[in-house]
Amino acid sequence: MELRQINDYLWEIPRHGEMRVPGRIYASRAMMEELRDDPALNQVENVACLPGIVGYSLAMPDIHWGYGFPIGGVAAIDAEDGVISPGGVGYDINCGVRLIRTNLKRADIANDIERLGDALYKAIPAGVGSEGAIPSLSIAELKKVVRDGVRWAVANGYAKPEDLNHIEEQGCLAGADPDAVSEEAYKRGHKQLGTLGSGNHFLECEEVDEIYAPEVAKALGLELGQVTVLIHSGSRGLGHQTCDDYLRKIGKNLDSYNFKLPDRQLAAAPIKSPEGRAYLAAMAAAANFAWCNRQLMTYLAERAFMEALHIGPKELGFALVYDVCHNIAKFEEHQIDGRTLRVCVHRKGATRAFPPGHPALPPGLREIGQPVLIPGDMGRYSFVLIGLENSMRETFGSTCHGAGRVLSRHQAKKEARGRDLVAELARQGVIVRAASRATVAEEMPMAYKDVANVVEVMEAAGVSRKVARLKPFLVVKG
Active site residues: 401
Instruction: Please state the separation of Cα 443 from the chain's center in Å.
Output: 16
| 346 within 8 A of 325, measured Cβ to Cβ | no
| 26 within 8 A of 460, measured Cβ to Cβ | no
Supply the angle between the helices 113-123 and 274-309 in degrees, to the nearest 10: 140
Q: How many CA atoms lie within 13 A of 94 on its CB side?
A: 32
CA 73 to CA 79: how far, in whole Å?
A: 18
In the DSSP assignment, the letter for residue 106 is: G
In the DSSP assignment, the letter for residue 326 is: S
Instruction: Give the dihedral sign, CA 464/469/471/475.
Output: negative
Q: Which amino acid is at 190?
A: H
Instruction: Please state the separation of Cα 416 from the chain's center in Å.
Output: 26
Q: Where are the beta strands (DSSP E) in 38-133?
A: 53-64, 71-78, 83-84, 96-105
| 235 within 8 A of 290, measured Cβ to Cβ | yes
| Secondary structure tally for the chain: helices H, strands E | 16, 19
| 397 within 8 A of 361, measured Cβ to Cβ | no
> Largest Cα–Cα distance in the chain?
64
CA 233 to CA 89: how far, in whole Å?
A: 15
How many Å is the Cα radius of gyration of the chain?
21
